[in-house]
Homo-oligomer: A and B are copies of this chain.
Amino acid sequence: MSYFRNDIDAMPPYVPGEQPQLGKFIKLNTNENPYPRSPSVDQSILAALQQGLGRYPDPLATAFRQRAAEVLQVDPDWIVCGNGSDDILTILTRSFVGHGEKIRLPYPSYILYRTLAQIQGAKWQEVSFLDDWSLGEEFSRATADLKLVFLANPNSPSGTRLSADQVMEIADRLPCPLVVDEAYVEFADSDCLSLVMQQEKIIITRSMSKSYSLAGLRFGYLVAQPQIAATISKVKDSYNCDALAIAGATAAIDDQLWLQETRGKIISTRERMSLRLRELGFHVTRSEANFVWCTGANVPLQTIYEQLKASRILVRYMEYPDWGNGLRISVGTDDQVDACLGLLETMV
């Protein structure tokens, strides 16, 4: 006999991602930013540490919201902060979706969306991307029990992005909120932020993990119309962001020059990497993220993954049932990427 909810018992056990503790690996498997964070992050964290940790942190992360509001050109009450954007996605699921109600997800995409549905006891409907990584009419179809739709934009593993016009069209047709997960958007050509002002169903989520090189700090946020943001805030833990994370994230978003420089380096490496991978015979989707999605080499992709790992380079081999497989390779530094490309040349 189990004390747990059936939904929880039915879930597969939790398996942490591949994070080798021994030896030196080149990690191109989890889309982390290879460049060190802005130096002002450290100054801000040290100042917060000096002020003490004995008191509870600001439950509204006011400092971050004020600075982010200036950068994003919205009011602070349009912003809700979270302990990483995963926390934000959890909060959104709990805000909108009751037991037995439905969440719609694109496929293949961020695996967490399905996990969130499982934990919530919700149903989920996966709508497959079309061959050109667009989404058909089914994705925006209104049904009675549909309560939330997730859209990673840019998407993982593909790195592709729907245009703002396409996103707006989807939101207009839906009977429920559309979460546009922009975890990778700082590496894209454009974003959907301005749509939030026009359509209350659109909620943008952002992460500081990739773009600002702060995956270890756990900080994300959402942008929604203020009447939506206020109700979402009821669902979060009061003190979900700690004092050091608030301080660090505030300094990070304040340093837009750092972001532009780092973004430039990563995009330049991504383009070079995509070109070379194509020359080596891979099919490489045009990426607007900090990773590239490779399929269709002469050698089985799993073998390539294994051989790279044996040479201490980690990339992500992904196998999607009823869909296909591929290698997702994060954009590292030029040296890291060259090491990876050099090995690949010997394999294909």
Distance to closest chain B CB from A177 (angstroms): 5
A121 contacts B99, C-beta separation under 8 Å: yes
- A45 lies within 8 A of chain B by Cβ: yes
A243 contacts chain B at the CB level, 8 A cutoff = yes
User: A42–B49 contact, CB under 8 A?
Assistant: yes
List, in ascending order, chain B residues with CB within 8 A of A53's CB.
37, 41, 213-217, 248
A55 to B94, CA, bound (A): 28
Q: Once the chains bind, are B242 and A216 in contact (CB under 8 Å)?
A: yes
Q: Decide yes or no whether A205 CB sits under 8 A from chain B.
A: no
Per-residue 0/1 for A56-71: is the Cβ within 8 Å of any B Cβ (1 yes, 0 no)?
1111100000000000
| Chain B residues, Cβ within 8 Å of A235 | 8, 119
Q: Convert A66-80 into 0s and 1s, putting 1 for each residue whose CB lies closer than 8 angstroms to a CB of B.
A: 000000000000000
How far apart are the CA atoms of A156 and B347 in the complex, in Å?
A: 64
Contacts of A87 in B (CB 8 A): 83, 237, 240
Interface string of A237-249 (1 = CB under 8 A from B): 1111111110010
Q: So how many copies of this chain end up in the complex? A: 2
Q: What's the minimum C-beta distance from A331 to chain B, rounded to whole angstroms?
A: 13
Q: Tell me which residues across on chain B come within 8 A of A176, comparing CB atoms.
A: 3
Residues of B contacting A112 with CB < 8 Å? 238
Stretch at the interface among A28-36, A264-272, A277-285, A320-328: A28-36
Q: Which residues of chain B come closer than 8 Å to A217, judged between CB atoms? A: 53, 242-244
The interface centre, meaning the residue of A13, A54, A234 with most chain B CB atoms within 10 A of its CB, is: A54
Q: Please name all residues of chain B whose beta carbon is closer than 8 Å to the beta carbon of A144 when the two chains form the complex.
A: none
**A130 at the B interface (CB under 8 A):** no
Please, which residues of chain B bring their CB within 8 A of the CB of A216? 48, 52-57, 242-244
Which residues of chain B come closer than 8 Å to A11, judged between CB atoms? 234
The complex places the Cα of A240 from the Cα of B88 at a distance, in Å, of 12
Contact in complex: B98, A56 (CB < 8 Å)? no
A62 to nearest B CB, angstroms?
A: 9
CA–CA, A33 and B53, complex, Å: 10
Give the docked Cα–Cα distance between A248 and B243 (Å).
13
List residues of chain B with CB within 8 A of the CB of A248.
53
A55 to B209, CA, bound (A): 8
CB distance A59 to B234 under 8 Å?
no
Is A129's beta carbon under 8 Å from chain B? no
Mark contacts of A1-26 with chain B using CB atoms, 8 A cut-off: 1 yes-contact digit, 0 otherwise: 01111111101111011010000000
Q: Does A90 contact B (CB under 8 A)?
A: yes
> What is the minimal beta-carbon distance from A7 to any residue of chain B, in angstroms?
8
Judge whether A233 is part of the interface by a CB distance below 8 angstroms. yes
> Is A218 on the interface with B (CB-CB < 8 A)?
yes
Evaluate contact between A27 and B55: CB separation under 8 angstroms: yes
> B-facing mask of A275-308, CB < 8 A → 1, else 0?
0000000000000000000000000000000000
13 new A-B pairs (CB below 8 Å) besides A17-B238, A119-B235? A8-B95, A11-B234, A14-B234, A16-B238, A19-B55, A27-B55, A36-B54, A53-B215, A83-B237, A84-B237, A218-B240, A242-B242, A244-B245
- Could you list 15 A-B pairs, sorted by A, with CB under 8 Å? A3-B228, A14-B230, A16-B59, A17-B56, A17-B59, A19-B55, A30-B55, A32-B55, A32-B56, A34-B54, A37-B53, A41-B53, A55-B216, A87-B237, A94-B119
The 7 closest A-B pairs by CB, nearest first: A216-B243, A53-B216, A99-B99, A218-B242, A54-B213, A16-B59, A56-B215
